[in-house]
Amino acid sequence: MIGIISAMQEEVQALLHELKDIQTTEKGKRTYFTGTLFNKKVVIVFSRWGKVASAATTTQLINDYNLDEIIFTGVAGGIKPELNIGDVVIGKHLYQHDLDARPFYKKFEIPILKMKYLETKNASKLLNASSKFITDYNKYIEKTEALEFNITAPKTVHGDIVSGDQFISSLEKIGRLNKQLPTAICVEMEGASVAQVCYEYDTPFSIIRIISDKANDNATIDFSRFANTIASNYALGILKNYFN
Protein backbone atom coordinates (compact mmCIF):
# COMPACT_ATOMS: atom_id res chain seq x y z
CA MET A 1 0.00 0.00 0.00
CA ILE A 2 1.15 3.53 -0.80
CA GLY A 3 0.45 6.49 1.47
CA ILE A 4 -0.30 9.84 -0.17
CA ILE A 5 -0.27 13.01 1.94
CA SER A 6 -1.03 16.64 1.17
CA ALA A 7 -1.38 19.68 3.41
CA MET A 8 -4.67 20.79 1.85
CA GLN A 9 -7.75 18.84 0.84
CA GLU A 10 -7.76 20.68 -2.51
CA GLU A 11 -4.32 19.32 -3.38
CA VAL A 12 -5.59 15.73 -3.57
CA GLN A 13 -9.19 16.34 -4.65
CA ALA A 14 -8.57 15.00 -8.16
CA LEU A 15 -7.05 11.83 -6.67
CA LEU A 16 -10.09 11.31 -4.44
CA HIS A 17 -12.37 11.62 -7.48
CA GLU A 18 -10.48 8.71 -9.10
CA LEU A 19 -10.24 6.57 -5.95
CA LYS A 20 -12.21 3.29 -6.17
CA ASP A 21 -13.70 1.13 -3.39
CA ILE A 22 -13.37 3.95 -0.88
CA GLN A 23 -13.37 3.37 2.86
CA THR A 24 -12.78 6.10 5.41
CA THR A 25 -11.35 6.17 8.91
CA GLU A 26 -11.46 9.16 11.26
CA LYS A 27 -8.54 9.63 13.65
CA GLY A 28 -6.98 12.69 15.21
CA LYS A 29 -9.39 15.02 13.40
CA ARG A 30 -8.23 13.64 10.05
CA THR A 31 -9.95 11.46 7.48
CA TYR A 32 -7.93 8.60 5.96
CA PHE A 33 -9.30 7.48 2.57
CA THR A 34 -8.32 3.97 1.53
CA GLY A 35 -9.06 2.39 -1.83
CA THR A 36 -7.61 1.64 -5.24
CA LEU A 37 -5.99 4.28 -7.44
CA PHE A 38 -4.82 3.20 -10.90
CA ASN A 39 -4.86 -0.42 -9.70
CA LYS A 40 -2.70 0.36 -6.64
CA LYS A 41 -3.84 0.11 -3.03
CA VAL A 42 -3.48 3.56 -1.48
CA VAL A 43 -4.40 5.57 1.56
CA ILE A 44 -4.86 9.32 1.07
CA VAL A 45 -4.96 11.95 3.80
CA PHE A 46 -4.49 15.69 4.08
CA SER A 47 -2.32 16.57 7.04
CA ARG A 48 -3.14 20.27 7.51
CA TRP A 49 -0.43 22.93 7.34
CA GLY A 50 2.86 22.90 9.20
CA LYS A 51 5.52 20.57 10.52
CA VAL A 52 3.70 19.40 13.65
CA ALA A 53 0.47 18.58 11.81
CA SER A 54 2.27 16.74 9.02
CA ALA A 55 4.51 14.79 11.42
CA ALA A 56 1.50 13.67 13.48
CA THR A 57 -0.36 12.58 10.35
CA THR A 58 2.64 10.66 9.03
CA THR A 59 3.17 8.84 12.32
CA GLN A 60 -0.49 7.80 12.44
CA LEU A 61 -0.34 6.69 8.81
CA ILE A 62 2.73 4.51 9.32
CA ASN A 63 1.40 2.91 12.49
CA ASP A 64 -2.07 2.15 11.11
CA TYR A 65 -1.26 0.94 7.61
CA ASN A 66 1.21 -1.50 6.09
CA LEU A 67 2.91 0.96 3.76
CA ASP A 68 5.51 0.36 1.09
CA GLU A 69 6.20 4.08 0.72
CA ILE A 70 4.85 7.57 1.36
CA ILE A 71 4.52 10.30 -1.25
CA PHE A 72 3.83 13.90 -0.30
CA THR A 73 2.25 16.15 -2.92
CA GLY A 74 1.33 19.82 -2.90
CA VAL A 75 2.33 23.37 -3.70
CA ALA A 76 5.52 25.29 -2.88
CA GLY A 77 7.06 28.69 -3.43
CA GLY A 78 10.00 28.96 -5.80
CA ILE A 79 13.12 30.67 -4.41
CA LYS A 80 15.31 30.44 -7.50
CA PRO A 81 14.73 32.68 -10.54
CA GLU A 82 14.75 29.76 -12.96
CA LEU A 83 11.59 28.30 -11.38
CA ASN A 84 8.22 29.44 -12.68
CA ILE A 85 4.62 28.90 -11.66
CA GLY A 86 3.53 25.45 -12.82
CA ASP A 87 6.99 23.88 -12.66
CA VAL A 88 7.35 20.57 -10.82
CA VAL A 89 10.02 19.97 -8.18
CA ILE A 90 10.83 16.37 -7.31
CA GLY A 91 12.57 16.59 -3.96
CA LYS A 92 16.15 15.44 -3.43
CA HIS A 93 17.24 16.63 0.02
CA LEU A 94 14.84 18.06 2.65
CA TYR A 95 16.02 20.72 5.12
CA GLN A 96 14.27 22.48 8.02
CA HIS A 97 15.17 26.13 7.53
CA ASP A 98 13.87 27.15 10.97
CA LEU A 99 15.81 24.48 12.92
CA ASP A 100 18.58 25.95 15.05
CA ALA A 101 19.70 24.02 18.15
CA ARG A 102 23.05 25.79 18.56
CA PRO A 103 25.32 25.52 20.49
CA PHE A 104 24.43 21.85 20.99
CA TYR A 105 24.18 21.14 17.27
CA LYS A 106 25.12 22.95 14.10
CA LYS A 107 22.51 25.15 12.50
CA PHE A 108 19.92 23.08 10.56
CA GLU A 109 21.23 19.85 12.13
CA ILE A 110 18.49 17.55 13.44
CA PRO A 111 19.09 16.80 17.14
CA ILE A 112 20.09 13.19 17.92
CA LEU A 113 20.13 12.27 14.21
CA LYS A 114 22.98 14.72 13.56
CA MET A 115 21.89 15.17 9.94
CA LYS A 116 21.28 18.49 8.22
CA TYR A 117 19.03 17.00 5.58
CA LEU A 118 17.15 13.84 4.71
CA GLU A 119 17.26 12.27 1.27
CA THR A 120 14.24 11.02 -0.64
CA LYS A 121 13.79 7.62 -2.28
CA ASN A 122 12.43 6.66 -5.72
CA ALA A 123 13.26 10.11 -7.11
CA SER A 124 14.30 8.82 -10.54
CA LYS A 125 10.98 7.02 -11.01
CA LEU A 126 9.05 10.14 -9.98
CA LEU A 127 11.17 12.28 -12.27
CA ASN A 128 10.32 10.04 -15.20
CA ALA A 129 6.64 10.10 -14.29
CA SER A 130 6.66 13.89 -14.00
CA SER A 131 8.57 14.43 -17.23
CA LYS A 132 6.07 12.23 -19.05
CA PHE A 133 3.21 14.21 -17.51
CA ILE A 134 4.72 17.55 -18.57
CA THR A 135 4.75 16.50 -22.24
CA ASP A 136 0.93 16.27 -22.24
CA TYR A 137 -0.13 18.30 -19.19
CA ASN A 138 -2.95 19.91 -21.17
CA LYS A 139 -4.79 16.59 -20.98
CA TYR A 140 -5.21 17.32 -17.27
CA ILE A 141 -5.14 21.13 -17.13
CA GLU A 142 -7.54 23.31 -19.08
CA LYS A 143 -5.62 25.72 -21.31
CA THR A 144 -7.58 28.71 -20.02
CA GLU A 145 -6.78 27.76 -16.42
CA ALA A 146 -3.09 27.31 -17.20
CA LEU A 147 -2.93 30.72 -18.85
CA GLU A 148 -4.74 32.31 -15.93
CA PHE A 149 -1.80 31.30 -13.73
CA ASN A 150 0.78 32.15 -16.44
CA ILE A 151 1.67 28.49 -17.02
CA THR A 152 2.95 28.17 -20.57
CA ALA A 153 5.99 25.84 -20.64
CA PRO A 154 6.26 23.94 -17.33
CA LYS A 155 9.30 21.84 -16.57
CA THR A 156 10.42 19.22 -14.04
CA VAL A 157 13.38 19.88 -11.74
CA HIS A 158 15.15 17.60 -9.25
CA GLY A 159 16.29 19.70 -6.32
CA ASP A 160 16.50 20.43 -2.62
CA ILE A 161 13.48 21.64 -0.66
CA VAL A 162 13.34 23.62 2.58
CA SER A 163 10.52 23.42 5.12
CA GLY A 164 9.55 25.62 8.04
CA ASP A 165 6.59 26.92 9.99
CA GLN A 166 6.51 30.20 8.10
CA PHE A 167 4.85 31.41 4.93
CA ILE A 168 7.74 32.92 2.96
CA SER A 169 6.54 36.00 1.08
CA SER A 170 9.36 38.52 0.95
CA LEU A 171 12.51 39.03 -1.09
CA GLU A 172 14.44 39.57 2.13
CA LYS A 173 13.55 36.10 3.43
CA ILE A 174 14.30 34.53 0.05
CA GLY A 175 17.72 36.17 0.05
CA ARG A 176 18.43 34.77 3.51
CA LEU A 177 17.42 31.25 2.44
CA ASN A 178 19.51 31.49 -0.74
CA LYS A 179 22.54 32.46 1.34
CA GLN A 180 22.11 29.93 4.15
CA LEU A 181 20.89 26.97 2.06
CA PRO A 182 22.17 27.69 -1.46
CA THR A 183 21.13 24.35 -3.00
CA ALA A 184 17.46 24.78 -2.05
CA ILE A 185 15.12 25.73 -4.90
CA CYS A 186 11.71 25.92 -3.24
CA VAL A 187 10.15 26.42 0.18
CA GLU A 188 7.11 24.92 1.91
CA MET A 189 5.87 23.94 5.38
CA GLU A 190 5.74 20.12 5.68
CA GLY A 191 8.16 18.09 3.59
CA ALA A 192 11.17 17.90 5.91
CA SER A 193 9.09 16.86 8.92
CA VAL A 194 7.44 14.06 6.94
CA ALA A 195 10.88 13.01 5.69
CA GLN A 196 12.19 12.83 9.27
CA VAL A 197 9.32 10.64 10.49
CA CYS A 198 9.71 8.36 7.46
CA TYR A 199 13.46 8.10 8.09
CA GLU A 200 12.95 7.15 11.74
CA TYR A 201 10.35 4.53 10.79
CA ASP A 202 12.43 3.24 7.86
CA THR A 203 9.67 4.07 5.35
CA PRO A 204 10.67 5.20 1.82
CA PHE A 205 9.63 8.81 1.21
CA SER A 206 9.40 10.99 -1.88
CA ILE A 207 7.86 14.38 -2.58
CA ILE A 208 6.23 16.25 -5.45
CA ARG A 209 5.94 20.04 -5.21
CA ILE A 210 4.19 22.20 -7.79
CA ILE A 211 5.40 25.80 -7.87
CA SER A 212 2.45 28.09 -7.12
CA ASP A 213 4.33 31.37 -6.61
CA LYS A 214 7.77 32.94 -6.34
CA ALA A 215 7.59 33.22 -2.50
CA ASN A 216 8.13 36.97 -2.83
CA ASP A 217 6.19 40.15 -2.15
CA ASN A 218 3.87 39.28 -5.06
CA ALA A 219 2.89 35.86 -3.66
CA THR A 220 -0.82 36.68 -3.62
CA ILE A 221 -2.45 34.04 -5.86
CA ASP A 222 -5.62 32.20 -4.93
CA PHE A 223 -3.93 29.17 -3.32
CA SER A 224 -7.13 27.23 -2.83
CA ARG A 225 -8.06 27.58 -6.50
CA PHE A 226 -4.52 26.83 -7.69
CA ALA A 227 -4.37 23.74 -5.49
CA ASN A 228 -7.73 22.48 -6.71
CA THR A 229 -7.49 23.20 -10.44
CA ILE A 230 -3.73 22.92 -11.04
CA ALA A 231 -1.81 21.10 -8.28
CA SER A 232 -4.44 18.41 -7.74
CA ASN A 233 -4.54 17.55 -11.44
CA TYR A 234 -0.74 17.62 -11.66
CA ALA A 235 -0.65 15.04 -8.86
CA LEU A 236 -3.24 12.95 -10.68
CA GLY A 237 -1.28 12.89 -13.92
CA ILE A 238 2.13 12.33 -12.32
CA LEU A 239 0.93 9.51 -10.05
CA LYS A 240 -0.93 7.82 -12.89
CA ASN A 241 2.42 7.60 -14.72
CA TYR A 242 4.23 6.59 -11.53
CA PHE A 243 1.85 3.71 -10.77
CA ASN A 244 1.66 2.36 -14.33
Class of the domain covering 2-243: alpha beta
First to last CA, the chain: 15
Three-state DSSP state, 11: helix
For residues 173 and 77, the answer to whether their CB atoms sit within 8 Å is: no
Tell me, what's the pLDDT at 213? 83
pTM of the shown model:
0.94
For residues 71 and 138, the answer to whether their CB atoms sit within 8 Å is: no
Tell me, what's the pLDDT at 9? 87
For residues 153 and 176, the answer to whether their CB atoms sit within 8 Å is: no
Tell me, what's the pLDDT at 66? 96
Tell me, what's the pLDDT at 225? 87
- Residue pLDDT, tens place only, 141-155: 989 999 989 899 999
All structural domains of the chain with their residue ranges: 2-243
Annotated catalytic residues are 11, 213
- Residue pLDDT, tens place only, 198-231: 999 999 999 999 999 876 655 556 778 888 899 9
CA distance 20 to 86: 28
CA distance 63 to 32: 13
Tell me, what's the pLDDT at 221? 67
Tell me, what's the pLDDT at 107? 96
CA distance 150 to 120: 30
List per-residue pLDDT tens for the chain, 244 residues long: 999 999 988 888 999 999 999 999 999 999 999 999 999 999 999 999 999 999 999 999 999 999 999 999 999 999 999 999 999 999 999 999 999 999 999 999 999 999 999 999 989 999 999 999 999 999 999 899 999 898 999 999 999 999 999 888 778 888 898 999 999 999 999 999 999 999 999 999 999 999 998 766 555 567 788 888 999 999 999 999 999 9
Q: Positive or negative, the Cα torsion across 233, 234, 240, 243?
A: negative
Alpha helices in 19-122, H assignment, sequence order: 51-64
CA distance 161 to 210: 12
